[in-house]
């Protein structure tokens, strides 16, 4: 198995489930943030930071999913063909 085969597999996985995972993370971020707003002030910050982590993860996965075809084409030009 070559590195190009691995990159193709990652691209296929991102294209098939990447946006679903990003959507789930966006929804989870909203739910965690809303739940955290109902908590006392001592624990509200913990929930907010978890929600921001979910939101950042959702954006990163969505960006990688959207650009997966472009990243594979870059990988094809950089990696040597054997």
How does DSSP assign 1-26, residue by residue? --HHHHHHHHHHHHHHHHHHHHHHHH
Q: What is the domain count for the chain?
A: 1
- Answer yes or no: is 70 within a domain: yes
The tokens for 45 are: 């910050």
* In a domain? residue 64: yes
Share of the chain above pLDDT 90, in %: 62
pLDDT of amino acid 80:
73
Mean pLDDT of 65-78: 88
Task: Work out the mean pLDDT of the chain and round it to a whole number.
Answer: 91
pLDDT per position as a tens digit, 9-60: 888 988 999 999 999 999 999 999 999 999 998 899 999 999 999 999 999 9
Residue 5 is assigned to a structural domain of this protein: no
CA-CA-CA-CA torsion for 17, 18, 24, 26, nearest 10 degrees?
A: -170
Please check whether residue 8 lies inside any domain of the structure.
no
6 part of a folded domain? no
Contact by Cβ (8 Å): 22, 75: no
Q: Residue 82 pLDDT more than 60?
A: no
**Residue 67's domain spans which residues?**
16-78
Domain assignment present for residue 3? The answer is no
Please name which of 6, 8, 3 lies closest in space to residue 73, comparing C-alpha atoms: 8
Task: Decide if 32 is inside a domain.
Answer: yes
Does the predicted TM-score (pTM) go above 0.85?
Answer: no
If you ran DSSP here, which 8-state letter would residue 81 be given? P
Would you say residue 34 lies in a domain?
A: yes
């Amino acid at each position: 198995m070559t590195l190009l085969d691995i990159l193709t597999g990652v691209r296929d996985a991102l294209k098939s489930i990447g946006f679903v995972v990003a959507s789930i993370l966006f929804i989870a971020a909203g739910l965690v943030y809303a739940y955290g707003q109902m908590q006392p002030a001592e624990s509200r910050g913990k929930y907010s930071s978890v929600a921001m982590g979910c939101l950042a993860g959702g954006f990163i996965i969505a960006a990688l999913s959207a650009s997966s075809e472009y990243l594979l084409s870059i990988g094809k030009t950089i990696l040597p063909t054997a």
